[in-house]
Structure 1
Amino acid sequence: MVHRALTIPELIHLIVNNVPLGDDGWPSSDWRSPDLPTLQALALTCRAFHEPALDVLWSLQEGLSHLVECLPTDLWTILDDRHGTLTLNEPTRPTTHQDWERLEFYARRVRSLRYGPRKSPLNPYLRMSRVLSGKLFRWLLSSSPSHHLLPRLRFLEWYGSDIPFDYVDSAHMLFGPQLYMLDIGSCLQMLVHLHRRSPDIQDLHIHPDGNGGPDSDHQPIPRDILTSLTPLRSLTLESFSPFDIDVLAGLSTLPHLTEVKIVIATITRQDKRSLLETDYPAAQSLEFRALKSITLVLSFMTELSTILSVCRFPRLRRLNLTSFWGSEPHAFDEMLQVIHDCCSHGVLETIQIHTVPGQLTHLEEGIQVITATSLSRLCAFRRMRKIWLLTEMYIALDDYLLEEMAMAWPCLESLRFQSMAEDSWLIQNAATLEGLVPLARYCPSLKSLTIDVDPSDTFISPHAEPGGGHCNRVLRSIDFKQPFATDIYNVAEIGAFLYAIFPNLQAINEYDSTMTSDCWRLVENTVHVLRKVSQWPRNAGES
């Protein structure tokens, strides 16, 4: 007799939904199926577990071959080829409702369908699904008695150069009324049907995969396709084609759009053409009323500025910008000014700017430096929690700027100013360890710090504690890129200073194995020793 606890549906679903994920080779848990033998055992345990276990067992499918194999065997056959392709038997007899009963019994349980690379990225010998011939694929979708083959499909991933091209003309029939997320390659003809067949789509990823037909990866996304998706909340757009800024005007009309990622990539450094297809009137401004996060990855810093300059983001919290081919100080300064003008000073919390190193570090006019004047524009944003700047240029910091930033950002949690220029340590840095004191004093939530300072003149007074007694007890890790002369006295002074303002500091240059890290490792050891010494009286009292 079944225990009364197993008559509670919530408890049954809790048990089934907590079956561990199987080791199927996929790195992301979103596409890893639960352990199949465990689910099979649950489904056969008793009636209480049967339906819930089957729901989870069939919830994620890698292709449609398992469903095809639920049809009568006289309708399909397996070809003797290297893929073991499933194909339609010829001639095809008319089907009855009974032929489809078993398939429909399982098809209604499918929530996620993945059509992508047929091999696992971590296990190339793991077969994900049999290939369906194009004829069988089209027949399956067009002959099903149900209007939608997978009526409860929520997530569809469709990309990969090994998907047969003759799937494309009928693949849109997989779109159903419950579809929530679509991750698709360059099959733009499929997207034309999306707003009609899946009116509640909220998450859309479009990226090149070389399988949408000739030159499909270089076709611009039609504006009308995107503007028709009114419920859309998240959009990722990756392409090799020029980006028409007019698409932004369409995106700005979507009332629920909260997250956007646009990646427009060039292939070679020699291709210096702008990836912005058209100019946009400077006087016209596009307001994204709901947008909270935007990521832009373009070739040049000037393109980033051009896009941002025609936009207004009253609710933007996260801004992530990447320039493939470096930058120069004037373009960087212009971009910071554009950020200052287009984002709300009381809402923006995260700024990440990355310019790819090794491209434009040295020009004819000499060393390229981001000045303190440029960086001071960021102090207008009063709710800043995360500032990351990774660039091939040199970053000119001084103690006055660090104090201004610390006082402007009381909620700061992560600060990373990192120059990736060759021999950047040869440039004399005006910022010193004294400049870190305001960060310890005014930024109590600061957890991580990457910065270049000159520690050579650090001095510990016997009459006053470094930092005036102010300290940050949250920060655990610091990365310094500036080396220094490692005499014993200097190491002790630097270690004592850092311990005074960051008493819980655990690691310095933790993942850096260069000579720069070696000298700072001595400082880290000094900090650890000082922490042990500070605990002596307390430990003695306890014993």
Structure 2
Amino acid sequence: MVHRALTISELIQLIVSEVPTDDGESWSRSDFPTLVALALTCRAFHEPALDMIWSRQDGLGNLVECLPGDLWKISDDSGKTLTLREPTRSTTQRDWERFEFYARRVRILHYGPKRIRRKSRVLSEQIFCWLFSSRPSHHLFPKLSFLGWSENMPFEHHESVHMLFGPQLSTLHMGVWSSDFAASQAVPQVLVHLPFRSPDIHELTIHMYANGGPDDQRLPSKVFASLIRLKSLTLLSTLPLEPDVFTALSALPHLTEAKITIHSGDEDACGLLGTDHAAAPSFIFRALESLTLTFSLMSDINTILSACSLPQLRRLSLTSLYGSDSSMFDRTLQLIRDHCSHAMLEVIELRTTIDLFPSMDFEEVPEPDTITAASLGHLFAFRSIRELELLTEMYIALDDDDLKEMAMSWPRLKSLQLESVAEEEPGMSVTLEGLAHLARYCPAMNWLAIDVDTTGTFVSPDARPGGSYCNQVLQAVDFQRSHASDCPAEIGAFLYAIFPKLQWINSHSDDTPGEDSWKPVEDMLDALRKMSQWPRNIVLTPLTT
């Protein structure tokens, strides 16, 4: 007799959900045999366990093998490919009963390179097309919520992929990032079906390649305009976006995250939307909270920013693949100041370094410009900044007074990274005295990366460094290419006074220039920290002779 507890469906579901399953990343922890055992234990566990077993599929092979054996066969000696058995015959509803029994349990489907442990056989183009043409008006996976469609699929597969779209599909990842031009050009055609078959899509990822010819198909703006429930968009393409696409995206009431990468592969590519918009913003993104823009040229990023109003933006990440110059970068910071809410923006990431893509071939790398405090001053209006990252091929010229103004402008700052990869760094003007301002005005800072000049560091016996202000949170810093001077005791004492919890310097990399010079400083910090933990009521007994 079954225990009454097993009649509670919620309890059964909790038990089954405790069994580790394939998640696409940590498949080694999957306990598939336990799920099979649960499915065979009793009726109470049968359905929930089967739901878990079939919920995630890598390809369609396992389901095709649920069809009658006279409809398919294994076509090669390796036993990895399924194809249609000839001659074909018409199917009946009974032929599909076992297929549907399991297909209705599938909620996550990856189609492409194998991701999980229980791999299925690959479908030939012939049987793939037959699978959908046999029942054109039927949703094969009525409860499918996630579809990951990867690259390197035959063109015929792309023609039918929209048949996988169902009423419960909420996440679609569609990537074709290769020289297979025909397959990539099928992407816009596939997306046309999305609003009609899956109107509740929440997350959309699109990767598509184009050869720059007249036959390139652009992303249809009407598709985005129809996805009124879309919350997150990730787009990677070699084609510029039409203004109509931005018009459609700005009108989406629930779009909170957008990641757009347009890589033309040509440093001299024309601007994205034409010339810089001097008039009022054309696109108002009223719900957008996170925006990531990655383009070949900083001028294209500026064009986008100048055309947009971002009143709710909290996180902004900008990357120029071909670097920048100081005037263009200054313009970028001005646009951020003028088009983002000073009260809302919390995270700013700016990357303008060609070193991110070392494989790119530049005939001549220009002499880097210099970013000054006047440019960074455009960001002082954002009082809620919590994270600021600047990675650039340009020089960064700051002194202690500039750092003080930064610290006073951003009292909530938690992470500050100012990194230049210029081959020859000019003499840095920021000293440990400048870091004391960060310790005083940014008490929540827990990460710092900056070049610092420690020459002439001195700790007075009459006054505590930093005026007795200290940061009790920071435990690690990255002084990048800076070298510790010949006074590790003075440097360690100064750093301990302003950052008493500091333990690690340049610990993230073993090949950081100057790292060896910081080891004595770390040792000094460790000794001072141990000494501070001694009992304060300890009585020192003098030695007697």
TM above 0.5 = yes
Q: Does 2:429 align with 1:434?
A: no
Report if aligned partners of 1:219, 1:241 keep a CA contact under 8 Å in 2.
no
Report if aligned partners of 1:63, 1:130 keep a CA contact under 8 Å in 2.
yes
Q: Does 2:16 align with 1:20?
A: no
Q: Using the TM superposition, give the Cα deviation of residue 411 of structure 1 relative to its aligned residue in structure 2, in angstroms.
A: 1.3
Correspondence list, 1:44-55, <5 A: 44-55=40-51
Coordinate RMSD, CA, aligned: 2.6
Partner of 1:419: 420
Distance 1:539 1:216, change over 3 A: farther
Q: Does 2:185 align with 1:189?
A: no
Distance 1:49 1:147, change over 3 A: same
- SS, match of residue 348 in structure 1: coil
**Per-residue displacement from partner, 1:416-447 (whole Å, max 9, x unpaired)?**
001111132xx111111111112111211111
For the residues of structure 1 that align with 2:93 and 2:537, how far apart are their CA atoms?
79
Q: Does 2:62 align with 1:66?
A: yes
- Counterpart selection for 2:92 from 80, 92, 96: 96
Distance 1:4 1:198, change over 3 A: same
Name the stretch that deviates more: 149-158 or 367-376. Answer: 367-376
- Counterpart residue identity of residue 130, structure 1: R
- SS, match of residue 236 in structure 2: strand
Correspondence list, 1:309-324, <5 A: 309-324=306-321
- Counterpart residue identity of residue 453, structure 1: V
- Counterpart residue identity of residue 435, structure 2: L
- Counterpart selection for 2:255 from 254, 257, 275: 257
For the residues of structure 2 that align with 1:15 and 1:471, how far apart are their CA atoms?
50
Report if aligned partners of 1:209, 1:217 keep a CA contact under 8 Å in 2.
no
- Counterpart selection for 1:347 from 327, 331, 344: 344
- Counterpart selection for 1:356 from 347, 353, 357: 353
Partner of 2:291: 294
Distance 1:100 1:214, change over 3 A: farther
Q: Using the TM superposition, give the Cα deviation of residue 135 of structure 1 relative to its aligned residue in structure 2, in angstroms.
A: 2.8
- SS, match of residue 247 in structure 1: helix
Partner of 1:390: 391
- SS, match of residue 123 in structure 2: coil
Q: Using the TM superposition, give the Cα deviation of residue 229 of structure 1 relative to its aligned residue in structure 2, in angstroms.
A: 1.2
Report if aligned partners of 2:309, 2:340 keep a CA contact under 8 Å in 1.
yes
Q: Using the TM superposition, give the Cα deviation of residue 247 of structure 1 relative to its aligned residue in structure 2, in angstroms.
A: 1.9
Q: Using the TM superposition, give the Cα deviation of residue 46 of structure 1 relative to its aligned residue in structure 2, in angstroms.
A: 1.9
Q: Does 2:141 align with 1:150?
A: yes
TM-score, length-scaled by structure 2: 0.90
- Counterpart residue identity of residue 170, structure 1: S
- SS, match of residue 429 in structure 1: coil
Partner of 1:503: 500
**Per-residue displacement from partner, 1:440-478 (whole Å, max 9, x unpaired)?**
112111110001121112211111111111111111100
- SS, match of residue 375 in structure 2: helix
- Counterpart residue identity of residue 262, structure 1: I
Alignment gaps of 5+ in structure 1: none
**Per-residue displacement from partner, 1:12-62 (whole Å, max 9, x unpaired)?**
21221222245x9x5x36x99943222111211222211111001000111
- SS, match of residue 458 in structure 2: coil
For the residues of structure 2 that align with 1:78 and 1:383, how far apart are their CA atoms?
61
For the residues of structure 1 that align with 2:275 and 2:31, how far apart are their CA atoms?
53
Name the stretch that deviates more: 101-110 or 475-484. Answer: 475-484
For the residues of structure 2 that align with 1:209 and 1:240, how far apart are their CA atoms?
6
Distance 1:226 1:217, change over 3 A: farther
For the residues of structure 1 that align with 2:217 and 2:271, how far apart are their CA atoms?
13
Partner of 1:137: 128
Alignment gaps of 5+ in structure 2: 176-183, 540-545
Q: Using the TM superposition, give the Cα deviation of residue 281 of structure 1 relative to its aligned residue in structure 2, in angstroms.
A: 5.0
- Counterpart residue identity of residue 233, structure 1: K
- Counterpart residue identity of residue 381, structure 2: A
What is the percentage of aligned positions where both structures have the same residue?
Answer: 56
Name the stretch that deviates more: 396-405 or 329-338. Answer: 396-405
For the residues of structure 1 that align with 2:271 and 2:19, how far apart are their CA atoms?
47
For the residues of structure 2 that align with 1:275 and 1:16, how far apart are their CA atoms?
54
Report if aligned partners of 1:217, 1:239 keep a CA contact under 8 Å in 2.
no
TM-score, length-scaled by structure 1: 0.90
For the residues of structure 2 that align with 1:505 and 1:237, how far apart are their CA atoms?
40
For the residues of structure 2 that align with 1:83 and 1:282, how far apart are their CA atoms?
63
Report if aligned partners of 2:319, 2:351 keep a CA contact under 8 Å in 1.
yes
Report if aligned partners of 1:155, 1:181 keep a CA contact under 8 Å in 2.
yes
Report if aligned partners of 1:156, 1:183 keep a CA contact under 8 Å in 2.
yes
Report if aligned partners of 1:230, 1:254 keep a CA contact under 8 Å in 2.
yes
Q: Does 2:331 align with 1:334?
A: yes
Distance 1:430 1:281, change over 3 A: closer
- Counterpart selection for 1:42 from 25, 38, 56: 38
**Per-residue displacement from partner, 1:207-238 (whole Å, max 9, x unpaired)?**
0268xx99799542122222121111110110
- SS, match of residue 536 in structure 1: coil
Q: Does 2:241 align with 1:240?
A: no
